A and B are shown apart, each in its own frame.
Chain A
Amino acid sequence: SQQGEEDPQALSIQEGENATMNCSYKTSINNLQWYRQNSGRGLVHLILIRSNEREKHSGRLRVTLDTSKKSSSLLITASRAADTASYFCATGANSKLTFGKGITLSVRP
């Protein structure tokens, strides 16, 4: 069964704008991770946030986690055309990493 559900399913923005993607989940987790997938390729790990953390930064990425609302957001600032990809959240719980269905981000040059 899918644990994380991303929102929106698709997002189209102009280069330079910020992109915000959301993930909701249903049960308690140990951590939440975000991955990127370029078309036809494997996934690349972006960032991991543990259940006792509320915010984490990595370069142009900012991730927040609200365990009371069972939700997370991924913010990509100053987007670039190269950020065009699918983004997945994955929740670590019960000795399992479960992926959502993904968000398709298109960044227009």
Chain B
Amino acid sequence: DGGITQSPKYLFRKEGQNVTLSCEQNLNHDAMYWYRQDPGQGLRLIYYSQIVNDFQKGDIAEGYSVSREKKESFPLTVTSAQKNPTAFYLCATATDRGRWYNEQFFGPGTRLTVL
């Protein structure tokens, strides 16, 4: 987990609320990713960014939004449009912009629960 910080570790949200998950890295990596992990589903890509001020949708982007204003930070907002947001969210980084199938480094994760 070294070099990648995710906060908070646990997050509880009421239905209809937007929440923002933080991801910060000091590895000087260009690429950053957000994944969602559900039991028995493996990891699914939500959004990714290869450079500051640019990001692309992954496989399950609906109901989520991101920003990449700084190289070190890639926050994920879970909006009220996300129908089933309870999950474990993982942030990852990688070197070599444009070759983002290289080794990825993961943060410790945020567990989001909708009450």
Partner-B contacts on A (CB < 8 A): 1-2, 30-31, 33, 35, 40-45, 48, 88, 92-93, 95-102
Contacts and interface: CB of A to CB of B under 8 A. Distances in A.
Interface size class of B (residues with CB under 8 A): 20 to 34
Contact of B106 (A31, A43, A92, A102): A43
A21 B54 CA distance: 37
A100 B103 contact: no
A99 B106 contact: no
Task: List the 7 closest pairs (A to B, CB-CB), nearest first.
Answer: A92-B101, A42-B106, A101-B42, A99-B43, A43-B106, A45-B103, A99-B42
Contacts of A99: 35, 42-44
23 contacts: A1-B59, A2-B42, A33-B103, A35-B106, A40-B109, A40-B111, A41-B1, A41-B108, A42-B1, A42-B90, A42-B92, A42-B106, A42-B109, A45-B103, A45-B105, A48-B102, A96-B100, A97-B45, A97-B101, A97-B104, A98-B45, A99-B43, A99-B44
B17 interface: no
A99 to B, nearest CB: 4
B42 A95 contact: no
A100 to B, nearest CB: 6
A33 B109 CA distance: 20
Given A1-B59, A88-B43, A42 B107 contact: yes
A97 B42 CA distance: 12
B78 to A, nearest CB: 18
Interface string B91-115: 0100000001111111111010000
